[in-house]
Every structure is written in structure tokens, then in C-alpha cells.
Amino acid sequence: MEDLNIPKNLYINVEKLESFLSEKGVSNVCPSCGHDKWVVPNASVVAGGVIPWGTGTGDPYMMGLPVVIMFCANCKLVRNHALLDGLEDVLEERDGAPSGG
Ligand SMILES: [Zn+2]
């Protein structure tokens, strides 16, 4: 069976994410409500998200921009940071997790 080397069981390392954002001077204050607690969805088969690219005609392209999704724990405002230029390092493989399917 061919190994396609598709990463599985990835998750967002929240500590690395906080370090990256802190180094960049990103504020933790929610611009909507002023609270400072953010939630990063991490589930068994979920790591980050994607914003679809468009073709310029209103049609979606087949790929998109990988992002880490965060939402305010108080007012639920959603924000995204592109998983590019070093931030993709917050994606890590789960140790010892089943390979899934
Ligand atoms: Zn908020």
C-alpha cells in the first residue's frame, strides 16, 4: 500500500501559538467586547481551518488559505491567523494517537 505521507492527527499547540502571537505584539483584548480569553478549537480530527480561495467570479477554488481559528470566550467574535511564515509550526502531530482513516 502506498504511503501518501498525508499528515494525520494534527492539533494546534496552544502554547506555541501564544508565544508566536506574543512575539508579534498581538493584543489579547477582544476588539468587540474587551475581554481577553480566546478559545482555539482542537478536536480529534480538527486542527485549524481554511478560508476558501475564490476565482474572482464568486465561485470557490478547490483550495484555500490555512488558518488557525480563535473565538472570544465571552462574545464569540471569530478571528483567524494564517498558518504561514512560521505560524504553521504550531501544528503538531499527536503522539501515540491512532492513525485514523
Ligand atoms: Zn469578545
Could you read off the pLDDT of 7-58 as tens digits, one per residue? 568 899 999 999 999 999 999 999 999 999 999 988 777 788 999 999 999 9
- Distance (Å) from CA 24 to ligand 1 centroid: 21
Residue 87 lies in a domain: yes
Does residue 2 fall inside a structural domain?
Answer: no
| Within-domain flag for 99 | no
The pLDDT value given to residue 101: 40
Ligand 1 centre distance from Cα of residue 80 (Å): 14
For residue 27, how far is its CA from the centre of ligand 1 (angstroms)?
A: 13
State how many domains the chain has.
1
CA distances for 71 relative to 23, 39, 59, 80, 91, angstroms: 20, 5, 27, 9, 18
**What's the pLDDT score for residue 2?**
61
CA–centroid distance, 99 to ligand 1, in Å, is: 36
Q: Please give the residue range of the domain that contains residue 71.
A: 10-91
pTM score:
0.79
Separation of 36 CA from ligand 1 center, angstroms? 8
Output DSSP code: residue 88: G
49 lies in a domain?
Answer: yes
Residue type, 33: C
Residue 44: the pLDDT is 75
**Per-residue model confidence (pLDDT) at position 99:** 44
54 inside domain: yes
Is residue 75 a part of any domain in this protein?
yes
- Retrieve residue 46's grid coordinates: 480538527
Taking CA atoms, 91 is separated from 5, 34, 62, 82, in Å, by: 16, 28, 22, 12
End-to-end Cα separation, the chain, in angstroms:
14
